[in-house]
Amino acid sequence: MRVWAPSRRVLRRAAVALWGALAVGALGVAARAVAPTVAAVAAMDRYSLRDVKTDQRALALTFDISWGTVMPQKVLTILVREHVPATFFLSGPWAAQHPDYVRTLVRDGFEVESHGWAHVNFSGLGYDGVVANIRRADAVLRELTGRPVRFIRPPNGDFNRTSLAAARSLGYTTVTWGTDSWDWMNPGVDTIVRRVVERAYPGDIVLLHASDTCKQTDAALPVIVRDLRGKGFRLVTLEDLLRLGEPDYRG
């Protein structure tokens, strides 16, 4: 009895057909698996994280620090006294020059994230420049905090698609804000308070500063805390805010 043996050509064709069928099936499964996150990933490629979609009355007070030690200490004292969780975005050079302050923030339970290294607009650095900037700050912050750093607030809130991609390649999410307090302009305590308290909303990420160039933040902060709590807001860190809802990426 003669037994039929397929030729090599037939075997190759069968293998290609089988592989194609498996690949199509696998792609279908993969597409279904990632479908819920496609919109979010697309938004991350174009925009920064500005707030969180949540039905809970919570928001995050966030503070940038790049210069000085007077205002950082004042802000820290107020937050500790008022039992306010908060998130600090620290520039790499400031953290390297003031390691004790960084360790104090961690010890007191505050969230520490990155404000990059050189205080320059990311959109002008190019991909490699942004990567180098973030990496340099990351090395300092990880050493001082003993934990991974997940978020980057670009100086001046400046970003483009290239900088977003560079940050993501390092595992970072680019964060800006929903409400700008204007404290960096030193417009007057009443203006700072009014801008935050009247504009705040559930899921908001509020921009404040604790650098010495900002002269009025310490006077405005206790009133902001009191009035926000009076309106029923719970003040949380950025990480905790993200646990309460869905990240919202907008331009």
48-88: pLDDT as tens digits? 999 999 999 999 999 999 999 999 999 999 999 999 999 99
pLDDT, position 37 = 52
Helices 70-81 and 217-230: angle between axes, nearest 10 degrees: 20
3-class secondary structure, 31 = helix
Span 152-175, pLDDT tens digits: 999 999 999 999 999 999 999 999
Strand boundaries in the chain, DSSP class E: 48-53, 58-65, 87-90, 111-114, 151-152, 173-174, 179-180, 205-209, 234-236, 246-250
Report pTM. Answer: 0.84
Among 38-42, 159-163, 170-174, 194-198, name the one with the lowest average pLDDT: 38-42
Tell whether the model's pLDDT for residue 44 goes beyond 90.
Answer: no
